[in-house]
């Protein structure tokens, strides 16, 4: 009784490669979308946390009779507004905050993206006082914009 070993033919190997390619074409984009969702969710949590910390600072400042919104220096100093140093922008991985003008804040301008992660505008003399804090990047997010598209990071 002899046993003959049988190898796979080129056709069988090509069929397996095609099937694996089709599976990969379906599965890989789903993982990429999951990382986009995760990065967007992380950004929303970070932005919300910072804005909430600014609100707490403002409430306490009003009780003391001080200007409600923190200066850029106060926002950057651990223990004044945030307990730790400013977290990195989840879309770029860059820390740091830069001041922007009112017109830049209104248009959600983005610049110095390689070295600055966040943009900050405040005006304690406006009635009511005004603040805008947003990511310094235009990376697309997974948040719907209400018109069939999605918001960019600086619109969050």
Whether 24 is in a domain gets the answer: yes
Tell me which residue range forms the domain holding 15.
Answer: 10-155
Query: H/E/C letters for each residue in 12-26?
Result: HHHHHHHHHHHHHHH
Whether 4 is in a domain gets the answer: no
Whether 54 is in a domain gets the answer: yes
Whether 1 is in a domain gets the answer: no
Segments in the chain below pLDDT 70 = 1-5, 22-34
Whether 47 is in a domain gets the answer: yes
* pLDDT score, position 36: 86
Q: Is the alpha carbon torsion for 76, 81, 85, 87 positive or negative?
A: negative
pTM recorded for the entire structure:
0.77
* pLDDT score, position 32: 55
Whether 72 is in a domain gets the answer: yes
Residues in the chain: 156
Number of domains in the chain: 1
Whether 5 is in a domain gets the answer: no
* pLDDT score, position 11: 78
* pLDDT score, position 116: 97
Whether 111 is in a domain gets the answer: yes
* pLDDT score, position 43: 96
């Amino acid at each position: 009784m002899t046993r003959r070993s049988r190898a796979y033919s080129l056709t069988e190997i090509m069929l397996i490669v095609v099937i694996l390619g089709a599976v990969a074409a379906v599965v890989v984009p789903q993982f990429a979308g999951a990382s986009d969702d995760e990065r967007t969710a992380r950004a929303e949590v970070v932005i919300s946390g910072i804005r909430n910390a600014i609100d707490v600072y403002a409430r306490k400042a009003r009780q003391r009779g001080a200007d409600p919104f923190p200066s850029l220096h106060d926002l950057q100093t651990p223990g004044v507004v945030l307990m730790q140093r400013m977290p990195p922008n989840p879309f770029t991985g860059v820390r740091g905050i830069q001041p922007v003008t009112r017109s830049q804040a209104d248009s959600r301008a983005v610049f110095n993206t390689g070295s600055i992660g966040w943009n900050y505008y405040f005006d304690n003399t406006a009635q009511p006082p005004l603040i805008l804090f947003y990511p310094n990047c235009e990376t697309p997010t997974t948040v719907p914009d209400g018109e069939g598209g999605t918001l960019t990071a600086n619109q969050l």
